[in-house]
Chain A
Amino acid sequence: MSHDDHDHNHGHDHGPHPYQPDIEDAPYTERMVMTQAVAELIVEKGIVSADEMRAQIELMDTREPALGAKLVARTWLDPEFKARVLADVKTAAAELDIDIGDIPIQAIENTEDVHNVVVCTLCSCYPRLLIGLPPDWYKSRAYRSRTVKEPRKVLEDFGTSIPENVEVRVHDSTADLRYVVLPSRPAGTDDWDEERLAELVTRDSMIGVSLAKSPDHT
Chain B
Amino acid sequence: MSETKYKPGDAVKVRASFPPGHVRTPHFIRGCDGVVTQYVGSYPNPEELAYGRDGLPEKPLYRVMFSQADVWPNYDGPSKDTMVVDIYEHWLEQNQ
Contacts and interface: CB of A to CB of B under 8 A. Distances in A.
A and B touch in the complex (CB under 8 A): yes
Contact of B24 (A151, A167, A171, A175): A175
Given A106-B40, A148-B83, A167-B82, A175 B28 contact: no
Interface string A138-173: 000000000011111100000000001101111111
Interface in B56-92: 61, 68, 71-72, 75-78, 80-88
Interface residues of B, number: 26
A16 interface: no
A177 interface: yes
Given A121-B26, A149-B28, A167-B82, A175 B88 contact: yes
A153 B76 CA distance: 9
Interface residues of A, number: 23
B31 interface: no
Given A149-B72, A151-B81, A168-B77, A177 B86 contact: yes
A170 B72 CA distance: 13
Nearest to B82: A169
A176 B78 contact: no
A204 to B, nearest CB: 20
Contact of B84 (A104, A165, A171): A171
B78 A164 contact: yes
Interface of A: 104, 106, 121-122, 148-153, 164-165, 167-177
Interface of B: 24-26, 28-29, 40-41, 43, 46, 61, 68, 71-72, 75-78, 80-88
